[in-house]
A and B are shown apart, each in its own frame.
Chain A
Amino acid sequence: MTPVLVLDNVTKKYGQTVAVDGVSFRAEPGRLFGLLGPNGAGKSSTIRMITYITTPDSGTVTLGGEPVGPSTQQRMGYLPEERGLYKKMKVGEQLVYLAQLKGMDTAGAEASVRKWLDRFGASDWFGKRVDELSKGMQQKVQFVSTVAHDPDLYIFDEPFSGLDPINADVLQETVLDLRDRGKTVLFASHRMEQVERLCDDLCLISQGRVVLRGTLREVKARYGRDTATVEWDGPADWVGRLADAGGVRVLSQTDGRAELRLVSAGPNDVLERAIADGAEVLQFGLHAPPLTEIFRTAVEEGVQA
C-alpha cells in the first residue's frame, strides 16, 4: 500500500470563520510536498485535520486510501510549528514515551531513539533533562520525536525556523533522505526560498482556498520566462526610470545587479534602456519568476477572483 495522502474538498469552520474552504490535493510517496501560504491562510487548520487532531466539517482526508483516524495517527510523524517538550523529563525517557504513544513497544522505541540520537551526534543527551539543553538541541530532540517511530507520512511545519544554518542543513539532509526512502513528506512553510530549493510539488493556499497547485516545474512554467536578471557597470538610474514608466517591476536590486519582472516592457526594451543610459551590461538572463513572486501574484489573483 502506498501511503499517498489525499485531501478531497475539505472544509472546516470555526464558528463563523471558514478556516479551510474546499481544499483538495494529493501528496505522493517519494516526493516532497510543500504546503504554502501566508500566516493565517489555513495551513495549520489543514494539518490538524490530516493529523486527526480535528475533523473536517465536510470532505475527506485519506492516507493510503484509509480515512484518517487513530490508526493512521500511528503512521504519521508531526512536527508542529510551535515546538514543545516536557521540560523536566529526560530526553531518552521522553522520546521513548512519545514513540510508545505512536504504538511502538518499549525495546523497539528505545533502539530507534538511540539510533536517531547517534545520527545527530547526540547520544549523550539520552539521560539529560530537556531543560538542560540549548534551544537548538531541543529542536533536534523534537525532530527525533517526529521520526523515531518510522512513520509513512511526515508533516513538518516550518521545520527550520529558529535553527542555525549548520543544524538546518543537517535536518534538511534528513528530510531529503526520508523522501528518497519513499516516504511521503509534507512540508508547510511560508519561506519561499526553502520551498523552491526542496519541494517537488506544491500547493498554495490563501484564505482557506487553494490558489495554486502542481509540481514546482509546472507552476514555474505557467508563468514563463518573464523575469530578467541584469548585471552591469555604470549608472543605475535607468532601472528606476523603467519602473516608473510601468515597464517592469523591480523584485530586487543591489549595486550593479537587478531582478526585474517584465510587465509591459520586453527584454529588448530593458537592454536598450540600460545601454542608452550609459550602463555597460555584463550579463543578461531571462528566467521564470522566483516562487516568492509567483506566490504574490497568485495570492493577489486569488483575492480578486
Chain B
Amino acid sequence: MRSKILLIARSEYLRRILTKGFLIALLLAPLGLVLVFALPILVTTLSPSDEAERRVAVLDESGRLYEAVAEAMPERFVTEPADAPLDSLRARVLDERLDLAVVLPASLLEGEGEATALSRSGGGLSQYDDVRGAVREAVRNVRLADVGATDEVTAVFAERPSVRSVTVTESGDAADGAFLATGIGYMSGLIIYMLVFIYGSLVMRGVIEEKQNRIVEVIASSVRPFELLMGKVLGIGAVGLTQIIAWVALGAGALTVMGPLLGAASGPPDVPVPQGAPPPDLPFDISAVAALMTPGFLIVLVLCFLGGYLFYAALFAAVGSAVEQESDAQTLSLPVTLPAVIPMLFLFPILDQPDSVLSTVLSILPPFSTVILPVRIAVVDVPLWQTLLALGLLAAAFVGAIWVAARIYRVGILSYGKKPTLADLWRWLRTA
C-alpha cells in the first residue's frame, strides 16, 4: 500500500515539476517579490529631486524669524518674505501663484502662539514635516541667541541622538532587529499563506481533472481511493517543498547579489564608488537577516507549511471530489477558504502585539497556527512548549482533516450528476 502511494506521489510530482510553467513560476515569483520590495526603495532613493520647486511666502510678524526659517527650509522650498497681508497671501495660494504661505506670529518668540501654513491641498506629510522642522529650528535658534546661549549650547540643542535597535541572539547581535523581524515575520506569514493556498487549490484542480476526464474510475480499479488521495496530496506537497527550498537558495543568492546593488543605489548617486573601497551601507544588515533565519526558525517554517498544506490540501481534495468542474467548487470550498483567510486579517495586530493573548492563542490553535506561529517566532521569543504544542495540535488537525477528506473523497469521486450540497458531503462523511 505504501509503495502505491509513493508511486502516485512520484508521478504527480514529476508531472508538475518537469513543466515550463513550474520553472517560470519558480523564477518569476521571487523576482516579483524582490521588485515589490526593492522598487519603493529604489524609487525613493533614486528620485529625491522629483519634487518640483515650491514657492513659499513667509509672513514674518515678529520681523526676526524670516532669515532663520529660510535657511532651515529644505532646498526645494524657494522662500521670499511676504509683502502683503494674510488675505492677499491666501488669494495667491488659491490662484496658484504661491504653493505655500507661512504665517509666523510674533508670539512665537515668547514661546506661545502657533505658526500657520496655508496650502491648497495640505501638500502631504513630508511637506508638513519640513515646514514644522524649519519653523521649530528657526524659533529655537533665535530664542537661544536672545538668551545669550553660546554656540556650544546651540549645537547641543541641534543634536539628534539616534537609537539603534539591536536583536540579541546566541550567535551574535544584529542591528535593526525589530524592523527586520517584523518584515520577516510578515513575509513568512504571507508566503506560507500563499503557498498553502496555491498548492491546496492545485490538489483540488487535480482531483477535479481526474474526475472530469473519468480516469479516476480506472485508477480506482487499481488502488484504494485513500492511496490515490494521499499520493496526490504528497506528490503536490513535494512540489511545494521543492519550490520553498529553491526559493530559499535563490533568495540567499539574490541577497548577496542584490544587497550591494541596493546599497549602491541608496548611496549618493553622483559619488563614484572607488575601487577596493568597503561595500557601501546596505539598506538592511545582512547579518541581521542571517541572525533571524536560524535553522530552528526555518524548520518551524517548513513544518508549518507542511502541516497547513496537508490540512488544507486534504479538505480541498474532498471539495474537488464532489464537483465536476472548477466553477462549481466555489460555494463548497468556502468553509475551507474562510479559516485560511482569518489569520491574514489578524496579521497586523499580531505583529504589533506578538505576546497578546490573541496572538498566543492563534499561534497555537490549528489551522491558524500555520501562518501565525512563524510570524510570532520571527518577532518574539516563543517558548519552546508553545511551539511544540502548536506543532502537535497541527499534526492532529491534519490527521483529522485527512480522515474526514478520505471519507468524502471516496464517495465523491464516483458521484456524477447533480451538484452536491454541503449537506450531501456531511451525509457522505457519516456513511460507513
State the A residues within 8 Å of B (CB): 48, 51-54, 70, 73-74, 76, 78, 80, 82-89, 97-98, 100-102, 142, 145
Residues of A within 8 A of B224 (CB): 70
Asked if residues B221 and A52 are in contact (CB atoms below 8 Å), the reply is: yes
Q: In the complex, which of the residues B4, B8, B221, B414 contacts A78, with contact meaning CB atoms closer than 8 Å? A: B221
B254 close to chain A: CB less than 8 A = no
Q: In the complex, which of the residues B7, B15, B221 contacts A53, with contact meaning CB atoms closer than 8 Å? A: B221
Q: Chain A's nearest CB lies how many Å from the CB of B233?
A: 17
Residues of B within 8 A of A48 (CB): 414
Asked if residues A84 and B215 are in contact (CB atoms below 8 Å), the reply is: yes
A89 to B224 Cα, complex, angstroms: 22
Residues of A within 8 A of B221 (CB): 51-53, 73, 76, 78, 80
B217 close to chain A: CB less than 8 A = yes
> Residue-by-residue, is B176-213 near A (CB-CB < 8 Å gives 1, otherwise 0)?
00000000000000000000000000000000001001
Asked if residues A84 and B414 are in contact (CB atoms below 8 Å), the reply is: no
A102 to B223 Cα, complex, angstroms: 8
Asked if residues B8 and A101 are in contact (CB atoms below 8 Å), the reply is: yes
Asked if residues B214 and A83 are in contact (CB atoms below 8 Å), the reply is: yes
Q: In the complex, which of the residues B11, B215, B222 contacts A85, with contact meaning CB atoms closer than 8 Å? A: B215
Asked if residues A100 and B7 are in contact (CB atoms below 8 Å), the reply is: yes
B218 close to chain A: CB less than 8 A = yes
Closest Cβ neighbor of B219 among chain A residues: A101
Q: Chain B's nearest CB lies how many Å from the CB of A211?
A: 26
Q: In the complex, which of the residues A82, A102, A142 contacts B222, with contact meaning CB atoms closer than 8 Å? A: A102
Contact status of A101 and B222, CB under 8 A, knowing A48-B414, A53-B414, A54-B414: yes
A89 to B210 Cα, complex, angstroms: 12
Q: Chain B's nearest CB lies how many Å from the CB of A43?
A: 14
Contact status of A84 and B222, CB under 8 A, knowing A48-B414, A53-B414, A101-B4: no
Q: Chain B's nearest CB lies how many Å from the CB of A294?
A: 30
Asked if residues A89 and B15 are in contact (CB atoms below 8 Å), the reply is: yes
Closest Cβ neighbor of B7 among chain A residues: A100
Contact status of A80 and B7, CB under 8 A, knowing A53-B414, A54-B414, A89-B15: no
Q: How many residues of B contact A (CB 8 A)?
A: 20
A78 to B214 Cα, complex, angstroms: 13
A301 to B214 Cα, complex, angstroms: 35
B220 close to chain A: CB less than 8 A = yes
Q: Could you say which of B7, B210, B216, B217 has the most chain A C-beta atoms within 10 Å of its C-beta?
A: B217
Contact status of A86 and B215, CB under 8 A, knowing A53-B414, A100-B7: yes
A52 to B221 Cα, complex, angstroms: 6
Asked if residues A82 and B214 are in contact (CB atoms below 8 Å), the reply is: yes
Majority secondary structure of chain A interface residues (helix, strand, loop or mixed) = loop
Closest Cβ neighbor of B19 among chain A residues: A88
Asked if residues B218 and A98 are in contact (CB atoms below 8 Å), the reply is: yes
In chain B, residues 204-251, which have Cβ atoms closer than 8 Å to a Cβ of chain A?
210, 213-224
Closest Cβ neighbor of A80 among chain B residues: B217
Task: Sort A-B residue pairs by CB-CB distance and give the 5 closest, nearest first.
Answer: A84-B214, A51-B221, A84-B213, A84-B215, A101-B222
A284 to B28 Cα, complex, angstroms: 80
Contact status of A97 and B217, CB under 8 A, knowing A70-B224, A102-B222: no
A88 to B21 Cα, complex, angstroms: 13
Q: Chain B's nearest CB lies how many Å from the CB of A58?
A: 14
Asked if residues A82 and B7 are in contact (CB atoms below 8 Å), the reply is: no
Residues of A within 8 A of B210 (CB): 86
Majority secondary structure of chain B interface residues (helix, strand, loop or mixed) = helix
Q: Could you say which of A53, A97, A142 has the most chain B C-beta atoms within 10 Å of its C-beta?
A: A53
Q: Could you say which of A54, A73, A78, A86 has the most chain B C-beta atoms within 10 Å of its C-beta?
A: A86
A298 to B214 Cα, complex, angstroms: 33
Asked if residues B218 and A84 are in contact (CB atoms below 8 Å), the reply is: yes
15 residue pairs from A and B, CB less than 8 Å apart:
A48-B414, A73-B221, A73-B223, A74-B222, A76-B221, A78-B221, A80-B214, A80-B218, A84-B214, A84-B215, A85-B215, A86-B210, A87-B213, A100-B7, A145-B218
Q: Could you say which of B214, B221, B414 has the most chain A C-beta atoms within 10 Å of its C-beta?
A: B221
Contact status of A86 and B213, CB under 8 A, knowing A54-B414, A101-B4, A101-B7: yes
Asked if residues B11 and A84 are in contact (CB atoms below 8 Å), the reply is: no
Residues of A within 8 A of B8 (CB): 101
Residues of A within 8 A of B222 (CB): 73-74, 98, 101-102
Closest Cβ neighbor of B415 among chain A residues: A14
Residues of A within 8 A of B220 (CB): 51, 53
Asked if residues B213 and A85 are in contact (CB atoms below 8 Å), the reply is: yes
Residues of B within 8 A of A87 (CB): 213
Asked if residues B215 and A97 are in contact (CB atoms below 8 Å), the reply is: no
Closest Cβ neighbor of A54 among chain B residues: B414
Asked if residues B15 and A82 are in contact (CB atoms below 8 Å), the reply is: no
Q: In the complex, which of the residues A76, A82, A88, A100 contacts B217, with contact meaning CB atoms closer than 8 Å? A: A82
Residues of B within 8 A of A97 (CB): 7, 11
A78 to B215 Cα, complex, angstroms: 11
Sample of 9 more A-B contacts, CB < 8 Å, known A51-B221, A84-B213: A48-B414, A53-B221, A73-B221, A80-B218, A85-B215, A97-B11, A101-B4, A101-B219, A102-B222
A172 to B292 Cα, complex, angstroms: 68
> Residue-by-residue, is B1-13 near A (CB-CB < 8 Å gives 1, otherwise 0)?
1001001100100
Residues of A within 8 A of B4 (CB): 101
Residues of A within 8 A of B217 (CB): 53, 78, 80, 82, 84
A83 to B217 Cα, complex, angstroms: 9
A97 to B222 Cα, complex, angstroms: 11
Closest Cβ neighbor of B220 among chain A residues: A53
Closest Cβ neighbor of B413 among chain A residues: A53
Residues of B within 8 A of A51 (CB): 220-221
A101 to B4 Cα, complex, angstroms: 7
Residues of B within 8 A of A84 (CB): 213-218
Closest Cβ neighbor of A149 among chain B residues: B222
Q: Chain A's nearest CB lies how many Å from the CB of B5?
A: 11
Closest Cβ neighbor of A100 among chain B residues: B7
Q: Chain A's nearest CB lies how many Å from the CB of B101?
A: 68
A97 to B221 Cα, complex, angstroms: 14
A277 to B127 Cα, complex, angstroms: 114
Residues of B within 8 A of A83 (CB): 214
A98 to B215 Cα, complex, angstroms: 10
A145 to B414 Cα, complex, angstroms: 20
